[in-house]
Amino acid sequence: MADFYNICLDIGGTKVLGAIFDKNDKIIYRLKKKTKEGGDNSDSVEKVIISVVEEMINESGINKKDVRAIGVGAPGVVDSGKGVVLFSPNLPWRNYDIKTPIEKKFGVPFMIGNDVNVGVLGEYKYGAARGFKNVVGFFVGTGMGGGLILNGKLFTGNEFKAAEYGHMILDPEGPLCNCGQRGCLEAFSSKKGMSAYILQQASRGRETMLAENIENGVFKSKALKKALAANDEVTVEAVDRACHYLAVATGNMINTISPDVVIYGGGVIEAVGDIFLKKILKEVDKYCMPSIRPTVKLKTAELGDDSVIYGALSMIK
Amino acid sequence: MADFYNICLDIGGTKVLGAIFDKNDKIIYRLKKKTKEGGDNSDSVEKVIISVVEEMINESGINKKDVRAIGVGAPGVVDSGKGVVLFSPNLPWRNYDIKTPIEKKFGVPFMIGNDVNVGVLGEYKYGAARGFKNVVGFFVGTGMGGGLILNGKLFTGNEFKAAEYGHMILDPEGPLCNCGQRGCLEAFSSKKGMSAYILQQASRGRETMLAENIENGVFKSKALKKALAANDEVTVEAVDRACHYLAVATGNMINTISPDVVIYGGGVIEAVGDIFLKKILKEVDKYCMPSIRPTVKLKTAELGDDSVIYGALSMIK
């Protein structure tokens, strides 16, 4: 069999991760770069995809003709069938057909899906959820993403909007979430939610080393890890609260779906997943039905930052 | 085509509903009777099924040889594939193979499923959810049941335990639920939950006509309807609270599954579904993501008490 390659991208609001996979699914080239500020010019991110893919082909030295397919995970509501981004909170795309121009440019099949959906698919095909059939994934980052594998297939619901666990309401009187609701999981357990708690406590005069590391309402996962290692009291409280609500949300998803496995991924889990999983496991039994609990496993993701690019590979294979 | 018949049963903790369907899916005979107190003798309910099916055949005058299949909805965790009731909170069955003796007795295929799962399937095939693909069903009765149709198929999760929306936690500090958790949907919005609220208010000296109608911790749906019609203040409060939490749970399921339709069924909805739906619709927009809300319809069930027997028919056809 002649050599061929698949090119996969994870496009975030601030950065793009890229990988070239060979025919044996080995990564032979990697790229990481900042997403240009897109403003409201909706084709600028398409230009980023094209320039990144071209750069990867050139820098890696592979032959352009040997590229077999391109797969992308991107934030927002994505119609995977049509290759159209319907809405993206952090990128300037609205009902934007990304498939047509990319396929025209490179002459190969192109697939795009919601980044967290695709990340959970990656864990299902190559990571912590291999061999399971029904998978619930929570991805803890700036926000809180979700993904759902049912009967071995990515489930995206009506109009590709399923698995928004981050906006499951756990306390109707709770803190305001970016989405406009109150007491969403994201408002407690994401970087944004934890940062808000830390800033609130700091504003009450409490000392915390993490407060000064919060920029634009969010800390970096590394700073969280450092503050936890230093046993910073307010940080520990924020994490306890985050894990408490993650345990409740996990219980709710277990009762609702009765999955085989629940996977925790994303930047926060990559940095301090062991601490999160331990705290969640300590509480989750209280929040799911005793008859269902023994049939579900809870695990941290295995692919780290690569969940989405492996998921993109799964889509195009 | 020669005449044939399907016999379908809805077995509850207190009563059995039965129907004989002709080859055109018309009900030609009905039966309703109390379930005998089963005690802990696990084959007594099997005897009830056999005696009810025999009674229906005899009383209807159909020929036993023309019965093509028997379908049953029953409470609890049911392995539909094997025809085994794994666990039932209100019936004395544990890992009880019901399929083998019934098929041996009548010589026709037998199928059994969880009653609410089967009821939602009935609404999907014959009722309010016809023509939709992804369906979330809430059944409001003594407890709070759930059912989930995904991509046009009943979804039962790992070990047939999915769709326990009644035990979704909506307030971790809320009232104690029968399942041992706190603040479950069932603890707020089922007959048990509403009854508990009403009894609590009555114990504080408030007047309410529904309190005296509560037996074994539950009122009858008809009494609820009467108290609402009389504008009984405590009853209205209990219903407002029930609908508030149903709206939150509906929002959570919309965000999680992005279904095409949410169906409300069960005894309470059969009695006062219009009032419930109106209150839920008034609140639900606050509790689901604005981008998903327009793509989902909310409806009351259409088949009333017959949801489960029609669902049982769907299983065996």
Question: Which residue among A162, A286, A289 sits closest to B258, beta carbon to beta carbon?
Answer: A162
Q: What domains are defined for chain B?
A: 5-119+307-316 (3.30.420.40), 128-301 (3.30.420.40)
Is residue B233 less than 8 Å (CB to CB) from chain A?
no
Question: Region A6-21: what's the mean pLDDT?
Answer: 91
CB contact A68 to B (< 8 Å): no
How many contacts (CB atoms, under 8 Å) link A and B?
134
A159 at B interface, C-beta within 8 A:
yes
A4 is written with which tokens? Answer: 């061929």
For A57-69, the pLDDT digits (tens) are 999 999 999 999 9
A287 touches chain B (CB under 8 A): yes
Per-residue pLDDT, A37: 52
Instruction: Give the gap in angstroms from C-alpha B179 to the nearest C-alpha of chain A.
Output: 7
Q: Give chain A positions within 8 Å (CB) of B292.
A: 159, 161, 164
User: What pLDDT is attached to residue A116?
Assistant: 94
* Interface predicted TM-score of the whole assembly (ipTM), two decimals: 0.85
Query: Please, where are the H alpha helices in chain A?
Result: 44-60, 99-106, 115-126, 185-189, 191-203, 221-229, 233-257, 267-284, 307-316
Cα separation, B136 vs A169, whole angstroms: 17
Tell me the average pLDDT across A43-54. Answer: 82
What pLDDT score was predicted for residue B44? 65
Structure tokens at B105: 């007795």
Distance CA B141, CA B276 (A): 13
A180 touching chain B per CB within 8 A: yes
Write the single-letter amino acid at B169. I
Closest residue in B to A248 (Cα) is B169
The residues near B284 (Cβ < 8 Å, ≥ 6 apart) are B247, B250, B251, B254, B293, B298
Contacts of B255 in chain A (CB under 8 A): 164-165, 167-168
Nearest to A259 by CA among B315, B112, B256: B256
B75 touches chain A (CB under 8 A): no
Write phi, then psi, for A264 (nearest 5 degrees). -110, 120
**Which of A256, A284, A291, A296 to probe the B interface (max B CBs under 10 A)?**
A256
Element (H, E) at B173: none
One-letter-per-residue 3-state SS of B217-272: CECCHHHHHHHHHCCCHHHHHHHHHHHHHHHHHHHHHHHHHCCCEEEEECHHHHHH
DSSP structure class, residue A176: B
Checking if the pLDDT of A156 tops 60, the result is: yes
Contact B289 A165 (CB under 8 A): no
> Does A185 touch chain B if contact means CB atoms closer than 8 Å?
no
Q: Best interface-test mutation with B: which of A169, A262, A280 has the largest number of B CBs within 10 A? A: A169
pLDDT tier for residue B48 given thresholds of 50, 70 and 90: confident
* Cβ contact, residue pair A169, B251, below 8 Å: yes
Tell me the pLDDT tens digit for each residue of B137-166.
Answer: 999 999 999 999 999 999 999 878 889 999
Average pLDDT, chain A: 92
Q: Do A291 and B77 touch (CB under 8 A)?
A: yes
